[in-house]
């Protein structure tokens, strides 16, 4: 499959999915195209008797309309990108890569509950960046993106740090707070602190889905100093409280 032939029209979802050894999945007639990057997971997908191996050293494409069976052989996370495209064929295919960690780190930056046009464009842009990485091309950034890239890298590794301030986010880019905020809003369509809050909510949803932590522990893990502030912000974004969201997951 030639990656330059893939024309995505919309990213419909980017989600981390926790997988445990022994997990199996029987998919009939997939309703959209998918791309999976693995963080620790190892799978064997079977389509029409043909096996495809997915691992941290490879990515797998799941075309719309395909039917397949998958089994997990190692614990970890999958990062699934669902997208609509003009069509990528009717056969699963994999590609080798040594940049999974970097691509997953970039995906984590755009896993956000914010549903704005800017977020959608940012996700679509990142999708094409991943295709470029897989095809051996280098990522191209605008001058403004290059200027605030150090701050984006800092956000990626520090968004769960308690007490983050706008000046702290601007510092790695060595520009004024006002100019950093202006560029960030122009490029991503949301203020930097709202972007950070979106990443925290997305991570909280991931932790709620994984289980093992109570809501107070999740609030602390995501960078909130108060479980009450966390719960209020979670409800304002997601529409339900963390406890109700957890109850909904348990029923699925």
Q: Mapped to the 3 state alphabet, what secondary structure does 136-184 carry?
A: CCCCCCCHHHHHHHHHHHHHHHHCCCCCCCHHHHHHHHCCCHHHHHHHH
- Report pLDDT digits (tens) over 60-78: 999 999 999 999 998 888 9
Residue 119 has pLDDT above 80, yes or no: no
For the ranges 119-133, 165-179, 228-242, which has the lowest average pLDDT?
A: 119-133
79-115 residue pLDDT tens? 999 998 876 788 999 988 888 888 888 887 777 665 6
Per the prediction, the chain carries an average pLDDT of: 85
Backbone angles phi, psi at 51, to 5 degrees: -100, 140
What confidence score (pLDDT) does residue 99 get? 84
First to last CA, the chain: 36
pLDDT of residue 252: 46
E strand map for the chain: 8-19, 24-27, 33-39, 42-47, 50-54, 58-62, 68-74, 76-85, 93-96
Report in angstroms the alpha-carbon separations of 201 from 11, 207, 229, 232. 20, 10, 12, 11
Tens digit of each residue's pLDDT (9 = 90 or more) over 153-181: 888 788 899 999 999 999 999 999 999 99
% of the chain residues with pLDDT over 90? 37
Helix axes 192-210, 143-158, angle to 10 degrees: 40
Identify any residues that bridge with 43 across adjacent strands, giving them in sequence order.
54, 72
Query: pLDDT band at 52, cuts 50/70/90?
Result: very high
Between residues 50 and 146, the one the model is more confident about: 50
pLDDT at 219: 94
- Structure tokens given for 113: 């509950």
Residue 21, SS3 per DSSP: coil
Distance of CA 182 to the CA centre of its chain: 25
**pLDDT value of position 1:** 55
Question: How many alpha carbons lie under 13 Å from residue 61 in its C-beta half-sphere?
Answer: 25
Question: Higher pLDDT residue, 62 or 246?
Answer: 62
The tokens describing 123, both together, are 């996700």
> Phi then psi for 129, rounded to 5 degrees?
-65, -40
Q: Which band of pLDDT confidence, cut at 50, 70 and 90, is reported for residue 141?
A: low
In this predicted structure, what is the pLDDT of residue 171?
96
Does the pLDDT value for residue 234 go beyond 50? Answer: yes
Weakest-pLDDT range from 28-32, 73-77, 117-121:
117-121
């Amino acid at each position: 499959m030639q990656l330059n032939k893939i024309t995505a029209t919309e990213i419909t979802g980017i989600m981390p999915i926790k997988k445990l050894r022994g997990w199996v999945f029987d998919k009939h007639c997939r309703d959209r195209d998918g791309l999976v990057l693995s963080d620790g997971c190892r799978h064997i997908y079977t389509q029409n008797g043909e096996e495809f191996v997915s691992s941290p050293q490879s990515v797998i494409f799941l075309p719309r309309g395909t039917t397949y069976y998958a089994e997990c052989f190692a614990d970890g996370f999958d990062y699934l990108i669902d997208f609509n495209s003009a069509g990528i064929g009717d056969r699963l295919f994999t590609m080798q890569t040594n940049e999974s960690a970097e691509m997953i780190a970039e995906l984590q930056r755009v896993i956000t509950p914010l549903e704005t046009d800017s977020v959608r464009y940012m996700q679509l842009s990142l999708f094409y960046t991943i295709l470029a990485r897989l095809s051996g091309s280098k990522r191209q950034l605008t001058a403004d993106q290059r200027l605030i890239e150090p701050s984006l890298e800092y956000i990626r590794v520090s968004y769960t740090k308690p007490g983050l301030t706008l000046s702290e986010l601007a510092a790695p880019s060595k520009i004024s707070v006002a100019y950093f905020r202006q560029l960030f809003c122009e490029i991503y369509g949301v203020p930097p602190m709202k972007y950070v809050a979106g990443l925290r909510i997305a991570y909280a949803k991931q932790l709620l889905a994984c289980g093992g932590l109570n809501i107070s522990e999740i609030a602390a893990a995501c960078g909130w100093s108060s479980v009450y502030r966390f719960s209020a912000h979670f409800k304002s974004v997601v529409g339900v409280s963390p406890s109700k969201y957890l109850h909904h997951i348990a029923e699925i």
